A and B are shown apart, each in its own frame.
Chain A
């Protein structure tokens, strides 16, 4: 199937424009043809007095063509008016103003044209009436009568001559004799006239100059009058060129004496007769003449009205087309299409307007392009800034230092997660607010005290180690306050950094305890063997001697038992002191933790062991040490529950921080607040028979993994231990 061509708005407009051009040309040709043919026909009428109306096919054709052309003109104008009404009904852009302009043009042309028509018709009618009904008719009739009277008098003056000639000419006289008699009579009675004898239809003899045409006319008239058959013997005949007297002869022939008028006199008489005829014709055709004039005037009026209508349509279109183009163009521009270019060329104001519009859209397009380029550049810069900001934020998020940025108006501009945790505040709640209002008073005082010192500090930085309450306990923090200045040296605010020294101090303590343990183990281990050996020797050697004394056996057994205890203690100390460096392997931390939980579930069926497994990617850790640490925590939980309760173990991941978190919570009695600070120190135990090294070892393992371990209250009861280790320790992955 043939696909119809796609018609764009521009192509439709071009087709419409071509159609209108064709219409204009057609109307121009029609108007020119009407005018030309009318002129030609008018000339034809003036020239061709003998051209018959109804038999001349060319005239008919011309008249019909004129009528057809006028009808065509009327049709085109009517069609345009009809189209205009339709456009207006359909609310096509520009139709209203166009119809208004056309109405104005028609109104302005109609009123004077109709007025002119009425006046002209009235004047014409009145003129014709006054001409017909006035004295013109009397004058013309009088003139004709006078001319006729003169000619009659002339004719009568020739009566004597014809009487004499008729009396003298004998019956049957031949041409020669009759001619002689006529000549004699003419010379005697009317020397200025001419005479002839007729038979009566042909001339027998003449005297003087007898014009042939005149003689024929006279004879014809005599024949028409049946003069030969009439009783009377004489008569007079006049024409526009002659006057004559006629007399019968005795033999029935006729003698005619005639006088031809001088040419000038004949011309005047003819003019009088002509004017008389015209007057009577006009009088007879009074009504048709007036109707004809009115029809012509009406035709002219209609032509003017239609021409004015057409001109109105044309001018209205001239005005509305550029307006319509501009409106459409503006709509397109408003819709974001800046490629709009209006095709309208004219030297008038509309042409300038359209050209300005085109220039404006071109400028807008250029500006848009510049803006887009600037936007792209800004976007690139913004992306770079965002990338850098994200980089800084990532750094700030992942460092173990808490950072707060305070702007020049003492409002918090930025805060990282570590600082949030340390200060117990939420970023979204404190950003943009004065830091005095959102952080605890102790913290505020510490920062303010340090900030006061900045003015005198070298390098605009002050650093102090302070004890501040964090999470319900006082921890040791290193607080660093740095003043920010722009390139011009203007104050921009402060950067406050918090370093939690408790972990470092704990590590130092662990290391110190390890040293102590090593020395104690060394010092204790040495005398224990001699003591044990000596005691065993004493038992062997003196047990029989003191068999009746149970105290001896009891004492030596006690010594041996305590030595055994001491040895066990020394081995624990040694293990604690000699804890090897972790051997990192990449593995599934959650699987490791879950296997330990399953072991404990089997061993302690009275306790509900719940394991919550999160999405934890492969991590780098020492499986043996981590198993030891988690086992320690589960052992403690089981011990705290005394065989009944719930232990929830979780393994999750903090992808933003790059940490894996293992949590062990129980609903046991919990950890008293006073014990929490010393909980991870060696030889601190509330458990009966405990060495106090379990949690110290957990802390040491976690520290060796670069992580942290902490404890908090479980809700509603119990304790929660949380181990956080990096997924990728330094140098791994």
Chain B
């Protein structure tokens, strides 16, 4: 066996294995998820309600109290459900929510896309970040008596660190928050 062949046969897999094993080191934690997704369609809009569970770990809550801005990006998709056929998407909305604690004012500044809400305590802030009541515009009017289904997915979008920390944690994410797609039927008129 020539040196070149030995090199490719042993060295390359060795290096790749080393890289793969070194990358595998995350700890298991309660997975964030979207629960209780429901709502109704009417006319050209769908109102979707759901709750984001396990989104805030204790570390994240502590980080929030320390003034770190936390932002979630959420995608809500509404599909018309057909039997034995593909379900077309009739509406989709992507939006973000963020919250930040103002130490001077001692309020939590929550942004839900409709201006800033100033909340006096962390529970209110967390509730504002995890309770969703969304109106999704539909591309076609809702059909009476037909089934519709909503899908939602949320992930951590941004962690608003102060500038020096932003540089330090540029190559890494502090937390990994991302839900699977959750689905639930919507009530049609």
Partner-B contacts on A (CB < 8 A): 41-42, 45-46, 49-50, 52-55, 63, 71, 74-75, 78-79, 82-83, 86-87, 90, 144, 147-148, 151, 216-217, 220-221, 223-225, 237-240, 269, 272-274, 276-278, 280-285, 288-289, 292-293
Cα A175 to Cα B105 in complex, Å, equals: 30
Q: Cβ of A276: which chain B residues have Cβ within 8 Å of it?
A: 67, 103
Cα A74 to Cα B22 in complex, Å, equals: 14
Q: B105's closest neighbor in chain A, by CB? A: A239
Instruction: Find the residue from A46, A148, A224, A240 having the highest chain B CB count within 10 A.
Output: A224
Contacts known (A41-B170, A45-B170, A220-B117); A55 close to B158, Cβ less than 8 A: yes
8 smallest CB-CB distances across A and B, nearest first, come from A277-B67, A280-B66, A52-B158, A86-B3, A221-B118, A45-B170, A278-B162, A273-B104
B62 touches which one: A50, A225, A274, A284 (CB < 8 A)? A284
A282 near B119: Cβ-Cβ < 8 Å: no
B166 near A147: Cβ-Cβ < 8 Å: no
Q: Cβ of B173: which chain A residues have Cβ within 8 Å of it?
A: 53-54
A52 near B71: Cβ-Cβ < 8 Å: yes
Cα A63 to Cα B173 in complex, Å, equals: 12
- With both chains docked as a complex, state the minimum distance between the C-beta of A112 and any C-beta of chain B, in angstroms: 25
Q: Cβ of A50: which chain B residues have Cβ within 8 Å of it?
A: 158
Cα A55 to Cα B173 in complex, Å, equals: 11
B11 near A78: Cβ-Cβ < 8 Å: yes
Cα A174 to Cα B181 in complex, Å, equals: 52
Instruction: Find the residue from B15, B104, B105 having the highest chain A CB count within 10 A.
Output: B104
Cα A78 to Cα B17 in complex, Å, equals: 14
A82 near B11: Cβ-Cβ < 8 Å: yes
Q: B165's closest neighbor in chain A, by CB? A: A281
B7 near A83: Cβ-Cβ < 8 Å: yes
Query: Could you show 16 A-B contacts with beta carbons less than 8 Å apart?
Result: A50-B158, A83-B3, A86-B3, A144-B104, A216-B115, A221-B118, A224-B117, A224-B118, A224-B120, A239-B104, A239-B105, A277-B162, A278-B164, A282-B165, A283-B66, A284-B59
Q: Cβ of B68: which chain A residues have Cβ within 8 Å of it?
A: 281, 284
B73 proximal to A (CB < 8 A): yes
Cα A274 to Cα B69 in complex, Å, equals: 13
- With both chains docked as a complex, state the minimum distance between the C-beta of A517 and any C-beta of chain B, in angstroms: 104
Cα A82 to Cα B170 in complex, Å, equals: 34
Q: Cβ of A274: which chain B residues have Cβ within 8 Å of it?
A: 162
Q: B161's closest neighbor in chain A, by CB? A: A281
- With both chains docked as a complex, state the minimum distance between the C-beta of B6 and any C-beta of chain A, in angstroms: 7
Cα A408 to Cα B118 in complex, Å, equals: 135
B169 touches which one: A223, A269, A288 (CB < 8 A)? A288
Contacts known (A55-B158, A74-B15); A82 close to B7, Cβ less than 8 A: yes
Cα A645 to Cα B50 in complex, Å, equals: 149
B35 proximal to A (CB < 8 A): no
- With both chains docked as a complex, state the minimum distance between the C-beta of B161 and any C-beta of chain A, in angstroms: 6
Partner-A contacts on B (CB < 8 A): 3, 6-7, 10-12, 15, 19, 59, 62-63, 66-68, 71, 73, 102-105, 107, 115-120, 124, 155-159, 161-174
Q: B68's closest neighbor in chain A, by CB? A: A281
B171 touches which one: A63, A82, A284 (CB < 8 A)? A63
Q: Cβ of B164: which chain A residues have Cβ within 8 Å of it?
A: 278
Q: Cβ of B104: which chain A residues have Cβ within 8 Å of it?
A: 144, 147-148, 151, 238-240, 269, 272-273
B102 near A273: Cβ-Cβ < 8 Å: yes
Q: Cβ of A90: which chain B residues have Cβ within 8 Å of it?
A: 3
B103 near A144: Cβ-Cβ < 8 Å: yes
Cα A636 to Cα B171 in complex, Å, equals: 132
- With both chains docked as a complex, state the minimum distance between the C-beta of A696 and any C-beta of chain B, in angstroms: 96
Cα A74 to Cα B11 in complex, Å, equals: 11
- In the complex, given contacts A147-B104, A240-B105, what are 18 additional A-B residue pairs having Cβ atoms less than 8 angstroms apart? A42-B167, A49-B163, A50-B158, A54-B155, A83-B3, A148-B104, A216-B115, A220-B116, A220-B117, A221-B120, A224-B118, A240-B104, A273-B102, A273-B103, A276-B103, A277-B162, A285-B63, A292-B172
Q: Cβ of B6: which chain A residues have Cβ within 8 Å of it?
A: 86
A238 touches which one: B10, B12, B105, B170 (CB < 8 A)? B105
Q: Cβ of B159: which chain A residues have Cβ within 8 Å of it?
A: 53
Classify the secondary structure of A's interface with B: helix
Q: Cβ of B102: which chain A residues have Cβ within 8 Å of it?
A: 240, 273
Q: Cβ of A281: which chain B residues have Cβ within 8 Å of it?
A: 63, 66-68, 161-162, 165
- With both chains docked as a complex, state the minimum distance between the C-beta of B123 and any C-beta of chain A, in angstroms: 12
Q: Cβ of B172: which chain A residues have Cβ within 8 Å of it?
A: 288, 292
Q: Cβ of A220: which chain B residues have Cβ within 8 Å of it?
A: 115-118
- With both chains docked as a complex, state the minimum distance between the C-beta of B48 and any C-beta of chain A, in angstroms: 22
Q: A280's closest neighbor in chain B, by CB? A: B66
Cα A61 to Cα B170 in complex, Å, equals: 13
Cα A283 to Cα B66 in complex, Å, equals: 9
Contacts known (A49-B166, A83-B3, A220-B115); A75 close to B12, Cβ less than 8 A: yes
Q: A46's closest neighbor in chain B, by CB? A: B167
Q: Cβ of B10: which chain A residues have Cβ within 8 Å of it?
A: 82
A55 near B7: Cβ-Cβ < 8 Å: no
Contacts known (A53-B158, A281-B63); A79 close to B19, Cβ less than 8 A: no
Instruction: Find the residue from A71, A86, A269, A281 having the highest chain B CB count within 10 A.
Output: A281
Q: B19's closest neighbor in chain A, by CB? A: A71
B166 near A217: Cβ-Cβ < 8 Å: no
Q: Cβ of B124: which chain A residues have Cβ within 8 Å of it?
A: 224
A45 near B120: Cβ-Cβ < 8 Å: no
Cα A41 to Cα B165 in complex, Å, equals: 15
Instruction: Find the residue from B15, B67, B68 having the highest chain A CB count within 10 A.
Output: B67
Q: Cβ of B161: which chain A residues have Cβ within 8 Å of it?
A: 281
- With both chains docked as a complex, state the minimum distance between the C-beta of A335 and any C-beta of chain B, in angstroms: 26
Q: Cβ of B7: which chain A residues have Cβ within 8 Å of it?
A: 79, 82-83, 86
Contacts known (A52-B158, A281-B68, A281-B162); A289 close to B168, Cβ less than 8 A: yes
Q: A239's closest neighbor in chain B, by CB? A: B105
Q: B101's closest neighbor in chain A, by CB? A: A277
A52 near B19: Cβ-Cβ < 8 Å: no
Q: Cβ of A277: which chain B residues have Cβ within 8 Å of it?
A: 66-67, 103, 162
Q: Cβ of A221: which chain B residues have Cβ within 8 Å of it?
A: 105, 107, 118, 120
Cα A446 to Cα B170 in complex, Å, equals: 122
Q: Cβ of A278: which chain B residues have Cβ within 8 Å of it?
A: 67, 162, 164-165
Q: Cβ of A288: which chain B residues have Cβ within 8 Å of it?
A: 169, 172, 174
B3 touches which one: A87, A285, A292 (CB < 8 A)? A87
A55 near B174: Cβ-Cβ < 8 Å: no
Q: A213's closest neighbor in chain B, by CB? A: B116
Q: A226's closest neighbor in chain B, by CB? A: B120
